[in-house]
Structure 1
Amino acid sequence: MSILPIPRLRPDRPEDFPPPSRALDEPNGLLAWGGDLSPRRLLAAYRRGIFPWYSEGEPLLWWSPDPRLVFDTDGIHLSSRFRRELRRCPWTVRADTCFWEVIRSCAMAPRPGQDGTWITPEIQAAYAGLHRLGHAHSIEVFDGERLVGGLYGVAVGRLFCAESMFSGQSGASKVALAALGRILSGWSWPWIDAQVENPHLRFLGGRAIPRQDFLARLPALVDAGGRLGPWTAAVGAIPAASLTQAPAA
């Protein structure tokens, strides 16, 4: 019997989820609980616009909020002041060279108004498993050979579902996001799913759309051909300073 006013996921049916339309209004998007973090279940969730989010000591919770925050990959916004600073920046951006370091840094990053992290050791291990299978990726910002920022997320078809980012130096997470947008736009991937809106993400160009609109477009994106496996060679080393320039036509 469920101890929460939402369905409990069966451990023997990793691809079964309730329709996102059944998610609660308060808390916004809470859809189900239980199950596990196996690769099969995680990928099935992302393909349906669902993701896990819970804190240490809570049951495993699954969400599909309304509205949904997305970035158009060609619409990442960097302020004029930040672009001027980037022109002199020696950083470079790579992909999938140190996934563990990125996810651990995201877990340790302080979050205003939050005590602790939702990126528990269990979450870290689960997404590292997806990374080994070629589904989860990290975008990494380096100053020389020192990691100073980055983000990680899951690719399903031609949709990138961003999970978390961190800055070891001011502005490094913005560089990671801008580089990700540049990379995905070049591959004709239209959206980065940022899940839940906040003022910082809105300032960077994220836009909130109704969940039903997000879900209506989702099947065509997740069923499209993606890029399974490491992105390291395809991304190469992107100079952060190049992100101030318009992408090549």
Structure 2
Amino acid sequence: MPPLLIQHDGYPVDFGSYDLEYDHEEGLVAVGANFYPETLISAYTSGLFPWFIQDKLPYWFCPDPRMVLFVDQLKISKSMRNVFNKNIFQYSCDTEFEQVISQCASIERKGQQATWIDAHFKSAYLELHRLGYAHTFEVWSDRQLVGGLYGVGIGKVFFGESMFAKKDNASKAAFIQGVKFLNANGFEIIDCQVYSDHLSSLGAQNVDRKYFLAILKEHVLPSVLDGKNWKALFTKLITH
């Protein structure tokens, strides 16, 4: 089936009102719509995420299989335990969203010539952050931001978007600290989108798309953390 083409006239799009077909070979479900906060939240709760913009149109994907981490299945290697035991890094949450997303956009990645995180993405996710739905976990060394990740939290699901590292193990440290925080606050799964060895080493696994959509429906119900900045909660957790 070809992807659904969604027109819009300057208003939010509710993906749940469409008869979406999820069987495209590469996971492409829809093209079009917009980046209003309500549109993005609707997309995530429908199992979609925007991968890139082409000809001014967002492309929305739901790949099969889907990589997820069940928060109680986090794996911390011996080497990473040593990183934490030696207090190599310092950690924060929701303090430098714009810096983190900019670093994710600019960091060089092996086998990738250009970033999908353009000005449209930055603007949209900054607004989601202002509304308390997009969040960052940050890693510091000598008062410099050396690693981090950003994503979207809805209900009991955290939808990871991108991460970066300027020092060895910094992105893994951000991920691990993020998972610990999410686990402590009642989250169930982290959507990692597509397979990577990096995330697999931390306990993430591929699951069938139908299964992912089923557990997503169960866990994206409204949460007390929806629409809130997590800075104070995170600081309280890591200082106790």
Could you tell me which residue of structure 2 aligns to residue 162 of structure 1?
160
| Percent of aligned pairs with the same amino acid | 35
- CA distance 1:121–1:150, change in 2 (3 Å): same
1:21 offset after TM fit, Å? Answer: 4.3
Matched residues in 1 for 2:224 and 2:194: separation? Answer: 24
Amino acid at match of 1:5: P
1:56 offset after TM fit, Å? Answer: 6.0
Matched residues in 2 for 1:21 and 1:214: separation? Answer: 15
CA RMSD of aligned residues (A): 2.1
* Other structure's SS at 1:53 match: strand
Residues 15 and 46 of structure 2 are in contact (CA less than 8 Å); yes or no, is this contact kept in structure 1?
no
Matched residues in 1 for 2:117 and 2:54: separation? Answer: 9
Could you tell me which residue of structure 2 aligns to residue 5 of structure 1?
2
* Other structure's SS at 2:159 match: strand
- CA distance 1:19–1:168, change in 2 (3 Å): farther
Could you tell me which residue of structure 2 aligns to residue 24 of structure 1?
24
Residues 94 and 231 of structure 2 are in contact (CA less than 8 Å); yes or no, is this contact kept in structure 1?
yes
Within 5 Å, which residues of 2 pair with 1:61-210? 61-210=59-208
* Other structure's SS at 2:52 match: coil
- CA distance 1:147–1:40, change in 2 (3 Å): same
Residues 22 and 62 of structure 2 are in contact (CA less than 8 Å); yes or no, is this contact kept in structure 1?
no
Residues 80 and 173 of structure 2 are in contact (CA less than 8 Å); yes or no, is this contact kept in structure 1?
no
Residues 151 and 159 of structure 2 are in contact (CA less than 8 Å); yes or no, is this contact kept in structure 1?
yes
Matched residues in 2 for 1:60 and 1:71: separation? Answer: 26
- CA distance 1:62–1:142, change in 2 (3 Å): same
1:133 offset after TM fit, Å? Answer: 0.7
Residues 92 and 237 of structure 1 are in contact (CA less than 8 Å); yes or no, is this contact kept in structure 2?
no
* Other structure's SS at 1:74 match: helix
1:121 offset after TM fit, Å? Answer: 1.0
Matched residues in 2 for 1:190 and 1:7: separation? Answer: 30
- CA distance 1:151–1:197, change in 2 (3 Å): same
Amino acid at match of 2:209: R
* Other structure's SS at 1:160 match: strand
Pairing 1:234–2:224 present: no
Matched residues in 2 for 1:44 and 1:129: separation? Answer: 15
Matched residues in 2 for 1:111 and 1:9: separation? Answer: 31
Could you tell me which residue of structure 2 aligns to residue 14 of structure 1?
13
Residues 74 and 182 of structure 1 are in contact (CA less than 8 Å); yes or no, is this contact kept in structure 2?
no
- CA distance 1:57–1:11, change in 2 (3 Å): closer
Matched residues in 2 for 1:226 and 1:119: separation? Answer: 29
Matched residues in 2 for 1:170 and 1:84: separation? Answer: 13
Amino acid at match of 1:6: P
Residues 92 and 238 of structure 1 are in contact (CA less than 8 Å); yes or no, is this contact kept in structure 2?
no
Matched residues in 1 for 2:198 and 2:132: separation? Answer: 29
Q: Deviations over 1:84-110 (max 9, x none)?
A: 233213312111001000000000111
Matched residues in 2 for 1:83 and 1:192: separation? Answer: 21
1:20 offset after TM fit, Å? Answer: 5.2
Could you tell me which residue of structure 2 aligns to residue 245 of structure 1?
none
Residues 23 and 63 of structure 1 are in contact (CA less than 8 Å); yes or no, is this contact kept in structure 2?
no
Matched residues in 2 for 1:200 and 1:177: separation? Answer: 11
